[in-house]
């Protein structure tokens, strides 16, 4: 089965190299695609340093769900894997661990942080549906183009689709992996504002997911 990793990224020049280093050394990944979602820093230039990595450079920001959908259009892989661009501690073996359940027959696997940072571990323990680390069968995505408009609520939307259709979802513990906080990336004021916007988009997705 062909495996493609899609990494949506917005202004991640300082962090994306670590993620790409892990993904490109994975034994199971055949294609790696970075979708720069209207970045105005050096995200594109950093990504292009890695041999074989394909870069989609969007001229404007369309949101995380839209960037993921754009990446999907660039591959014919059987298995699509998504990783956030700001991960800390990601290793090639984490990539393999996330992909393997889908290769073995599951419809989707979701990566849950463990032994990373307390706040990120706790958030995913309470609500694993918000994790951006996913592997899934291509058909699941193609049958649900609504994810393109879900922005930061895309993970909630993906979990809803799996549950509604009674598909097989496997949780995979990614030990030692965590996120860079928005406050650290953008400063306290802007980071807090971006976090509030993210939670608002996730909240909208949760409300939609509860509708019959």
Summarised one tens digit per residue, pLDDT across range 77-98 is 999 999 999 999 999 999 999 9
Phi, psi dihedrals of residue 9, rounded to the nearest 5°: -145, 135
Cα–Cα distance measured from residue 21 to residue 38, given in angstroms and rounded to the nearest whole number: 22
- What percent of the chain has a predicted confidence (pLDDT) above 90? 59
**pLDDT band of 126, cuts 50, 70, 90:** very low
Kindly list the domain boundaries of the chain, sorted by start residue: 3-180
Q: What residues contact 126, with CB distance under 8 A and at least 6 apart? A: none
The CATH number assigned to the domain with range 3-180 reads: 3.90.550.10
Q: Taking the model in full, what pTM does it have?
A: 0.82
Q: Read off the tokens for 113.
A: 């942080």
Strand order in the sheet with 169-175: 54-58, 31-37, 3-9, 79-82, 134-137, 108-114, 169-175
Comparing 163 with 197, the larger pLDDT belongs to 163
């Amino acid at each position: 089965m062909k495996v493609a990793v899609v990494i949506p990224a917005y202004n991640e020049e300082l962090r994306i190299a670590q993620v790409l280093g892990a993904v490109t050394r994975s034994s199971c990944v055949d294609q790696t695609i970075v979708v720069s979602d209207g970045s105005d820093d050096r995200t594109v230039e950093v990504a292009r340093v890695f041999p074989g990595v394909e870069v989609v450079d969007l001229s404007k920001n369309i949101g995380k769900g839209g960037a993921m959908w754009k990446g999907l259009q660039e591959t014919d892989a059987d298995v699509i894997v998504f990783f956030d661009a700001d991960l800390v501690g990601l290793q090639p073996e984490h990539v393999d661990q996330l992909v393997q359940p889908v290769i073995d027959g599951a419809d989707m696997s979701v990566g849950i942080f463990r032994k990373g940072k307390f706040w990120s571990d706790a958030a995913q323990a309470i609500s694993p549906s918000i994790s951006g680390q996913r592997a899934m069968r291509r058909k699941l995505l193609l049958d649900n183009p609504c994810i393109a408009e879900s922005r930061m609520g895309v993970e909630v939307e993906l979990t809803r689709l799996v549950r509604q259709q009674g598909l097989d979802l496997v949780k995979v513990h990614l030990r030692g992996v965590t996120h860079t906080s928005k406050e650290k990336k953008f400063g306290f004021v802007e980071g807090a504002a971006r976090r509030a916007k993210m939670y608002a988009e996730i909240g909208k997705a949760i409300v939609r997911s509860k509708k019959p």
